[in-house]
C-alpha cells in the first residue's frame, strides 16, 4: 500500500512513519509548510510547524530511507484555520484551531492531494485507533493511552476520510514507549519536547495576537441583571469561564470572584457573574458531522452517550437527541447528566459511545443549569431558532441567563480549492 506519512518534525509522527515502513508499506514523508511568516524558527516558539521542525522531519525521513517533500499549504491554512480562528473570536465564540486543522488541512486538503497522486492512505502520529466493524465500516476509537488520546481533535473525520486514515500509535500504551522506540531506531527527535499552544501564536499570547487582528470595539461589562460594572476594549478579549483580566473596579456583593458567563459581540457586552452560574445542563449545535456511519436514533428517543468538550477534558455521561429546528435543518441537543462548567459557544462537543467517536458538533448555544423546564418552554429556547447573541439575551431576560452565540455562516468555508498542480520541493 502506498502511504503518505505526514511528518510534523516531532517524535510521534517520526515513529508512526517508521512503523508504516516496517509494516511493508511504500512510504513517502511530507512536511506541511503552514506559514510563510519570517521568524518561524523554534527560538522561543511554543507551537509546531516551524523551520526547525521541517529540518527535524527531513532528518527522520533520511534515517528511515524514505523520500521526503515539503508541501506549501500556507494559503489554505490561513484561509481555513487562521482566518476562521479570527472570525470565531470576533463573533464571540471560542474555537479549537487544532480540530479545524485536522478537518480542513490534514484530512481534507492533504488527503485530497494524496489520493490524486495515487496514495492509498495518510499516516499521522495521532494517538487514536481506526477499527473495522462486523459490516466492514471504519470506526474511530480512543487510543490505548488515554492520557495521550487525541480522538477529540479527530472527531471531525468523515467515513470516507477514515477509510484512508492510518494511526500506527493507537495501540501504544504510553508516550515513554514511543520515545524509547525512537531512540532504538536512532531518530534524532527521540527526546524532542512536545509542542503545545496554538502553532501560529508562537509566544502563547492569544489575546495579544487577537488585538493585532481584530479592531478595538469598546463596550460594557455587566452582571446578569444588566448593571454596568466596568468597560472593555473588545469582546474578543473574553471567553466563557474567564476570571482574570476584567478590571472591574469593585468586588461582588458576596466578595467572591466573578467569571465571564456570556459574550455578546453585537451589543459589545460581556456578562459576568458567580462561578455557580457557569454550570450548564444542555448544549446544542446545528453544525455537526458523524465520524463514520451515523448512529440510528430508535424511534426518535434520546441516545445514551458521553460527551467531551475540551481536548484534554473528561467524558461526561449525557443524552443525545437530534431534532428539526423551526427554521429548518437538524440540530443535535446534548443534555448532560451532571452540569458542566464554563462551556463556551464555538467549542466542539465530541460524542462518544464507549471508546468509539460517533461525531461532533460545534456548540452554538448552552442552557444554564438553573433554568427549569418551564423556563425553557416559555422562552422557546430549545428550538435553537435564535439568530444572534442579543436576540437570545432578550428572549431569556425574563427567565435567567442563557449562553448563546450568533448562529452565522462560517466565513472561512469559502476557502480556495487546492490548485490542480501544487509544486513540491524535494529536500
Q: Report the distance separating Cα 52 and Cα 58, nearest Å.
A: 10
Q: Report the distance separating Cα 333 and Cα 283, nearest Å.
A: 6
Active-site positions read 101, 199
For the record, the C-alpha cell of 248 comes out as 472591574
Q: Report the distance separating Cα 148 and Cα 162, nearest Å.
A: 20
Which ranges of 191-309 does DSSP label H, i.e. alpha helix?
Answer: 206-211
Q: How many Å from the N-terminal Cα to the C-terminal Cα in the chain? A: 23
Q: Report the distance separating Cα 386 and Cα 404, nearest Å.
A: 8
Cβ contact 54:96 at 8 Å: no
**Considering only CA atoms, which of 260, 220, 295 is closest in space to residue 403?**
260
What secondary structure letter does DSSP report for 236? Answer: G
Residue 381: is it exposed, middle or buried by C-beta count within 10 angstroms (0-12/13-18/19+)?
Answer: buried
**Considering only CA atoms, which of 18, 52, 21 is closest in space to residue 35?**
52
Opening angle at CA 197, ends 126 and 360, nearest 5? 55
Q: What distances in angstroms separate CA 299 from CA 32, 303, 334, 385, 421, one per listed residue?
A: 46, 10, 17, 24, 48
Amino acid at each position: 500500500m502506498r502511504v503518505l506519512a505526514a511528518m510534523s518534525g516531532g517524535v510521534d509522527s517520526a515513529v508512526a512513519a517508521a512503523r508504516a515502513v516496517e509494516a511493508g508499506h511504500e512510504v513517502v514523508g511530507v512536511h506541511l509548510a503552514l506559514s510563510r511568516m519570517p521568524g518561524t524558527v523554534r527560538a522561543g516558539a511554543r507551537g509546531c510547524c516551524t523551520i526547525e521542525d521541517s529540518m527535524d522531519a527531513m532528518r527522520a525521513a533520511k534515517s528511515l530511507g524514505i523520500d521526503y517533500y515539503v508541501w506549501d499549504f500556507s494559503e489554505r491554512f490561513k484561509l481555513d484555520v487562521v482566518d476562521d480562528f479570527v472570525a470565531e473570536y470576533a463573533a464571540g465564540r471560542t474555537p479549537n484551531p487544532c480540530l479545524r486543522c485536522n478537518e480542513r488541512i490534514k484530512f481534507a486538503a492533504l488527503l485530497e492531494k494524496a489520493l490524486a497522486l495515487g496514495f492509498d492512505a495518510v499516516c499521522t502520529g495521532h494517538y487514536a485507533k481506526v477499527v473495522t466493524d462486523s459490516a466492514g465500516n471504519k470506526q474511530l476509537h480512543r487510543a490505548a493511552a488515554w492520557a495521550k488520546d487525541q480522538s477529540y481533535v479527530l472527531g471531525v473525520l468523515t467515513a470516507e476520510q477514515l477509510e484512508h486514515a492510518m494511526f500506527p500509535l493507537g495501540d501504544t500504551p504510553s508516550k515513554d514507549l514511543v520515545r524509547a522506540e525512537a531512540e532504538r531506531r536512532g531518530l534524532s527527535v527521540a527526546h524532542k519536547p512536545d509542542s503545545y499552544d496554538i502553532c501560529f501564536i508562537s509566544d502563547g499570547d492569544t489575546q495579544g495576537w487577537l488585538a493585532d487582528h481584530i479592531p478595538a470595539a469598546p463596550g460594557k461589562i455587566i452582571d446578569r441583571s444588566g448593571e454596568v460594572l466596568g468597560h472593555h476594549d473588545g469582546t474578543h478579549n473574553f471567553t466563557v469561564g474567564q476570571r482574570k483580566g476584567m478590571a472591574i473596579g469593585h468586588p461582588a456583593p458576596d466578595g467572591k470572584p466573578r467569571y465571564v458567563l456570556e459574550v455578546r459581540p453585537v451589543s459589545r457586552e460581556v456578562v459576568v457573574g458567580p462561578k455557580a452560574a457557569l454550570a450548564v445542563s444542555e448544549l446544542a449545535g446545528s453544525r455537526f458531522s458523524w465520524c463514520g456511519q451515523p448512529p440510528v436514533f430508535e424511534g426518535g428517543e434520546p441516545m445514551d452517550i458521553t460527551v467531551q468538550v475540551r481536548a484534554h477534558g473528561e467524558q461526561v455521561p449525557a443524552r443525545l437527541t437530534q431534532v428539526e429546528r423551526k427554521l429548518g435543518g437538524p440540530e443535535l441537543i446534548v443534555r448532560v447528566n451532571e452540569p458542566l462548567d464554563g462551556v463556551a459557544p464555538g467549542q466542539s462537543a465530541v460524542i462518544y459511545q464507549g471508546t468509539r467517536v460517533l461525531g461532533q458538533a460545534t456548540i452554538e448555544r448552552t442552557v444554564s443549569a438553573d433554568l427549569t423546564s418551564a423556563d425553557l418552554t416559555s422562552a422557546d429556547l430549545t428550538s435553537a431558532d435564535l439568530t444572534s447573541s442579543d436576540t437570545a439575551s432578550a428572549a431569556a431576560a425574563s427567565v435567567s441567563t442563557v449562553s448563546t452565540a450568533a448562529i452565522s455562516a462560517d466565513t472561512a468555508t469559502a476557502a480556495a480549492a487546492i490548485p490542480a498542480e501544487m509544486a513540491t520541493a524535494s529536500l
